[in-house]
A and B are shown apart, each in its own frame.
Chain A
Amino acid sequence: MSVILKASHICVAYEGKKVVENVSFEVERGDYLCIVGENGTGKSSLVKAMLGLVPTCCGKAEFNLKNGRKRIGYLPQQNVMQNNFPASVKETVLSGCLSGMKFPKIYGKKERDTAEEYMKYLDIYELGKKSVGELSGGQRQRVFLARALCAADEILVLDEPVSGLDINAAKDLYNCLEKINKEKNITIIMISHDMQSALRYATKILHLDKTLLFYGSKEDYLLSPYSKRLLS
């Protein structure tokens, strides 16, 4: 198996205060990695730094993607502001295709087909004309998942995708992710608060508390003392 992401010595600081310190790890193609840790331990910052959304003070993340282009499917933390935004499901999913396009970015048949494929794959095709704000939480997350899939066919990065979802909607989303991971062999990196599900679906666990506490397979994690901290 080949390495798809190599993070080396990543540090992030906000206004002089370090929130992520010296984190290094490697992710292999097809992995399902859950990043766990308590609130405010730098999980989101680490992910954002890897994606280049916030500056790092040192270290870097290298993605080893097939086509050489940096195409990563990102599902950001939920943003309540988006609930009133006039964006149809179709517009939202299509916008995922932009990452692979060159100026002038006008959607052609290829993009429309990709969007349609993933909308059908995640069972939201019928919602196409609806506004994202009108959907239930679970449907909305599937829309954003479809958008992320349009952006990337190798790796997905998700920031707490199930927060705010009820148990059934969360279970649906986990099933979607498992399907994507297994059927399409897409690498998944997910920040999660939900330890039970993280341990159920993930193959690897990264436990963060500003620095890296644990990184390895799920089985090893369960034997390590760190797992007790979050499970209790």
Chain B
Amino acid sequence: MGFLEVVFTNPLFIRGAAIGFLVSLCAALLGVCLVLKRCSMIGDGLSHVAFGTLSVAVALNFAPLVITIPIVMLSAFFLLRLSESSSIKGDSAIALISSTSLAIGVAAASLGGVTKSVDGYMFGSIWLVEMEELYICIPLAAAVIAIFLLCYNDIFLVTFDEDFAKASGINVGVYKTVMSLLTALVIVIGMRIMGTLLISSLIIFPSLTAMRIFKSFKGVVICSSAVAVAAFALGFVVSYYTEMPTGASIVIVNALFFSVFYAIGKLARR
């Protein structure tokens, strides 16, 4: 069977592809802000927290998403405050939280005897995705896109210059909270495809790739969305033919895109 035929006839494929596209797009959009605000490591920290909670939920036989989503959102809120406070160094705190959650997750999985299904969270698989996730993903993507379209100019200013944004009467705190909550959701959903270890690349790669060439905010936002969607599509096809894990092939494609954009950026500036 050809690739396209499978894609359009197998419900698992359709579901996986739909979630993949939406998550990649959302992660890229939110990623532009996270990367530029120098808090992309929050994404990494959150994915580890999500792993820990998911494993505990599976080991205790609870519905994984119902428990994980609120906890990860709470952590997002907390990590954001942490990175703002000057008394604790944000990056080391995130590292501590990441490894602790990871340890709890691994321990819970082994004690509960569910290492097999937890493996799926660690490395992800597009085939594990369930209808439930699609139901969360569609409104999530709609929200992220709507916020970017309607509040684009405010988002630019909040990302670029928080003090000036505040002086302009923009409620910076609300924006940052909403962004971090949306990031938390994107990570929990995206983890099923990419896995704990690889999900943060969806957030970081596209915007860094776009920044090699584009020098305006609008250019970076549009290009990183395009790069993210293209990398997912290509990675998905590659993983189908090579039987590589989807997460890994998406990251490799992203890395290739980055190298190409880097080279073009270097050449263009000579």
Contacts and interface: CB of A to CB of B under 8 A. Distances in A.
Given A98-B157, A105-B153, A105-B154, A147 B164 contact: yes
Interface of A: 15, 48, 51-53, 70, 72, 74, 76, 79, 81-82, 85-88, 91-92, 94-96, 98-99, 103-107, 129-131, 133-134, 147, 151, 157
A95 B215 contact: no
26 contacts: A48-B163, A51-B166, A53-B163, A74-B164, A76-B164, A81-B38, A86-B216, A86-B217, A86-B219, A87-B160, A88-B215, A91-B218, A95-B157, A98-B153, A98-B157, A98-B165, A98-B170, A99-B167, A99-B169, A103-B150, A104-B151, A105-B151, A107-B153, A129-B216, A134-B215, A157-B167
Contacts of B169: 70, 99
Given A76-B163, A79-B161, A81-B38, A86 B220 contact: yes
Interface of B is mostly: helix
Given A82-B160, A86-B215, A95 B167 contact: no
B77 interface: no
B143 interface: no
A91 B156 contact: yes
The 7 A-B pairs at the shortest CB distance, nearest first, are namely A99-B168, A131-B215, A88-B216, A74-B167, A76-B163, A95-B157, A86-B220
A92 to B, nearest CB: 7
B21 interface: no
A177 B110 CA distance: 68
Contacts of A104: 150-151
Contacts, number: 83
A104 to B, nearest CB: 5
Nearest to B150: A104
A106 B153 contact: yes
A120 B218 CA distance: 23
Interface of B: 36, 38, 87, 150-151, 153-154, 156-157, 160-161, 163-170, 211, 214-220
A147 B153 CA distance: 14
Given A52-B166, A85-B160, 6 more contacts: A70-B169, A85-B217, A86-B36, A86-B211, A98-B165, A105-B154
B21 to A, nearest CB: 24
Q: Among A95, A98, A133, A151, find the residue whose CB has the most chain B CB atoms closer than 10 A.
A: A95
Contacts of A72: 167
B170 A130 contact: no
A70 B167 CA distance: 9
B177 to A, nearest CB: 18
A59 to B, nearest CB: 19
B163 A98 contact: no
A74 B163 CA distance: 9
Contacts of B157: 95, 98
A79 to B, nearest CB: 7
Q: Among B156, B160, B166, B167, find the residue whose CB has the most chain A CB atoms closer than 10 A.
A: B167
B214 A95 contact: no
